[in-house]
Amino acid sequence: MLEKSFGLFFFLKQPKNQKSDERYIYLRITVDGVSKELSTKRMWNFARWDQAVGRAKGTKEETLKLNAYLDIFRQNVYSAKSSLINDGKEITAEALKNFLTGSGEEKRLLLDIFKKHIEEIKNLIGKEYAYKTFQKYRTTFGHTKSFMKWKYDLEDVEIRKLDYEFVKDFSLWLKTIKNCNHNSTIKYIRTLKCIIIECMRKKWLRDDPFSDFKMCVKETEIIPLNNEELEAIRNKIFSINRLNLVKDIFVFSCYTGLAYVDVSNLKRTQIVNGIDGEKWIMIKRQKTDTPQRVPILPHALEIIAKYDQHPKCLNENTVLPILTNQKMNAYLKEIADICGIDKKLTFHIARHTFATTVTLTNGVLDIPRMLTT
């Protein structure tokens, strides 16, 4: 039911036991003859106040700033009114005051909701989610928390206060303060948006505050290693053991087409004899949860044999003693520099090297199909 009368008026209110000329500015909300008062949390000298129009008098900058603030405050009341109407709620002075102050209803805080969602994902690792998904949400949570502290000096924020400006500033912060590239920035924002969508499904939000923000990734060209570059890496013997290990793991990926996470999870039991009498890798790709069969080429077999008795492999029943992705990437950069290769070595490059250079060299024509994910 719509209200019959509606009015807003700003006025000064003197604090108890205070005799100074400063007064608190209040807003009186009147709906159908019933009024509620709401503090604007601002003070003003009563001699510079126009009681008839409910505004500060004068043309000084501080006066203009205060009146602009009161205009925004007034607009927030109309926005609250629209929200109540959209939710099918009755418009009363008390309902508007409660909406604006957040009292009378449960506050939904972004990071609190985010944290609970991460816990749900953590409990479902290996069932509905991969560990990498958990890491992605956890990292995005950390970035969101750091951004809010940096930008607003807040520990958390109500979800209904999120808007286009928030996500635009978050995007800029990721690119400038955290030095993320465009696609990584979009990945984090998309992850945050998943939390927003969850809030909308639970009817905590009516609309997506990020709907006007464009989240298009840029196509990146991945140039595989040619045969000479791959051989330069494979044949290089480093004086540092950790570099030899990382080189072997990278070369193994080049000759199998497996992503880092699949090499990391590769168990000895997943090496099987095929009907052709040769060794094959039989796995499910973690990223797509699809079965994958890969013939093990001679250079990959050599690497498997090299680490057959490695303590870490024996203890964990793994094929290779994998390091963390962060360490791998750091050492791969070192390897590229030493080998004189002007390309950023990654496991994406390794997979594409397998799909092109390795399969062509070995006469394997049907394997590139496995990389279309």
- Segment 265-320, tens digit of pLDDT: 899 999 998 888 888 998 877 666 677 888 889 999 999 999 999 999 999 999 99
> Are 259 and 234 within one domain?
yes
**252 vs 307: CA distance, rounded Å:** 12
State the pLDDT at residue 370.
Answer: 42
State the pLDDT at residue 2.
Answer: 57
> Are 30 and 116 within one domain?
no
The number of distinct structural domains making up the chain is: 3
Asked whether residue 136 is assigned to any structural domain, the reply reads: yes
pTM over 0.75: no
Pick the last residue of a domain from 75, 101, 127.
101
Tell me the CB-side half-sphere exposure of residue 342, using CA atoms within 13 A: 0
> Are 75 and 124 within one domain?
no
Q: Tens digits of per-residue pLDDT, 152-204?
A: 888 999 898 898 999 999 999 999 999 999 999 999 999 999 999 999 988 88
State the pLDDT at residue 366.
Answer: 47
State the pLDDT at residue 52.
Answer: 92
Looking at residue 280, which CATH number applies to its domain?
1.10.443.10
Q: Domain range for residue 126? A: 110-201
> Are 330 and 291 within one domain?
yes
Per the CB < 8 A criterion, the answer to whether 228 and 202 are in contact is no
Asked whether residue 207 is assigned to any structural domain, the reply reads: no
Pick the last residue of a domain from 76, 101, 126.
101
**346 vs 122: CA distance, rounded Å:** 27
> Are 114 and 97 within one domain?
no
Facing residues of 109 across strands? Answer: 158
Mode of pairing for the β-strands spanning 55-56 and 34-45:
unpaired
Asked whether residue 221 is assigned to any structural domain, the reply reads: no
Asked whether residue 215 is assigned to any structural domain, the reply reads: no
> Are 268 and 288 within one domain?
yes
What is the residue-wise DSSP string for 130-172?
Answer: -HHHHHHHHHHHHHHHHHHHHHH--S--BGGG--HHHHHHHHH
> Are 232 and 361 within one domain?
yes
Asked whether residue 190 is assigned to any structural domain, the reply reads: yes
Q: Looking at the predicted structure, is the pLDDT value of residue 111 above 70?
A: yes
**194 vs 200: CA distance, rounded Å:** 10
Asked whether residue 236 is assigned to any structural domain, the reply reads: yes
Pick the last residue of a domain from 201, 235, 254.
201
The mean pLDDT of 24-31, rounded to a whole number, is 94
Angle between helices 93-101 and 61-86 (to 10 degrees): 110
Asked whether residue 213 is assigned to any structural domain, the reply reads: no
Asked whether residue 216 is assigned to any structural domain, the reply reads: no
Mode of pairing for the β-strands spanning 34-45 and 49-50:
unpaired
Which two tokens mark 349? 């490059």
The mean pLDDT of 115-143, rounded to a whole number, is 91
Angle between helices 164-176 and 182-201 (to 10 degrees): 150
State the pLDDT at residue 222.
Answer: 77
Q: Residue 267 belongs to what H/E stretch?
A: none
> Are 332 and 268 within one domain?
yes
**327 vs 260: CA distance, rounded Å:** 12
Express as a percent the part of the chain with pLDDT over 70: 92
Give exposure, 125-136, as e/b (b: 16+ Cβ within 10 Å).
eeeebbeebbeb
> Are 232 and 330 within one domain?
yes
> Are 44 and 163 within one domain?
no
State the pLDDT at residue 105.
Answer: 62
List the beta strands (DSSP E) in 285-323: 291-295
> Are 345 and 253 within one domain?
yes
> Are 197 and 238 within one domain?
no
Mark residue 156 as left, alpha or beta (left: phi above 0; alpha: psi -120 to 50; beta: remaining): beta
